Amino acid sequence: MLNPYQFHNQPQQLMGYAESAKKIPSIAWQLAKSPAQKRELEHLWAKDPELAYRYARQIIKKPWPPGEAAIAGNPEYAYRYARQIIKKPWPPGEAAIAGNPEWAYYYARDVIKKPWPPGEAAIAGNPEWAYYYARDVIKKPWPPGEAAITKDPEYAYRYARQIIKKPWPPGEAVIASDAYFAKLYQKEFKVKLRAKSEQDINQ
């Protein structure tokens, strides 16, 4: 639920702030100082993925089924719940996680601890997370992510240097478009890059 008081330095002085604590989970969390007070407001935390996760981890320190429906719909907190509370794969949260490249990468790396096909479509479309997935999970060249990686000079350079470990022609066009990474690439592989147009890079 939207917190209309979040942009004020002293929201507690605004009209209706105390009453809002009964309806807005983020305000209620701030006002409920003790674990006992937080336990009395479980019905609020169950509606909010972040606070449901925080309640499970910080207050009761164990899985909390009433909050799992909210948590399962949020890729970040579904991942955190699986890793830090469930401490094993958590199927209820996997649909949300699989659609987000960042959290799908972390889930594969930290929870599944091996390649995770359900998340690979999202990962493969993002140059940063495709690179990290290849480096940390696949641990070798990963062709499904290369099309995205060739669109980003930093990750194309990193992919060539740390994964391909030799000149990588598919990434050279975009690397050549960035002076910093072009210099690093040429120094690393002793090759001369030709600066190409944006049209060349996007072909």
Domain ranges of the chain: 1-72, 150-203
Tell me what percent of the residues of the chain surpass a pLDDT of 90.
Answer: 78
- In whole angstroms, what separates CA 10 from the centre of its chain? 32
CA-to-CA distance for 48 and 33, rounded, in angstroms? 18
For 98-146, the pLDDT digits (tens) are 999 999 999 999 999 999 999 999 999 999 999 999 999 999 999 999 9
Write down the pLDDT at residue 171: 97
> Does residue 197 register a pLDDT over 80?
no
> Does residue 2 register a pLDDT over 90?
no
Tell me what percent of the residues of the chain surpass a pLDDT of 70.
Answer: 85
Write down the pLDDT at residue 105: 98
pTM: 0.84
* Higher-scoring residue by pLDDT: 120, 20: 120
Lowest mean pLDDT of 32-36, 164-168, 171-175, name the range. Answer: 32-36
Average pLDDT, integer, range 35-59: 95
Write down the pLDDT at residue 43: 93
Residue 63: count of CB within 10 angstroms of its CB: 13
Grade residue 7 by pLDDT with cuts at 50, 70 and 90. Answer: very low
Render the burial of 114-131: b for 16+ CB within 10 Å, e for the rest. eebeebbebbbebbbbbb
Grade residue 54 by pLDDT with cuts at 50, 70 and 90. Answer: very high
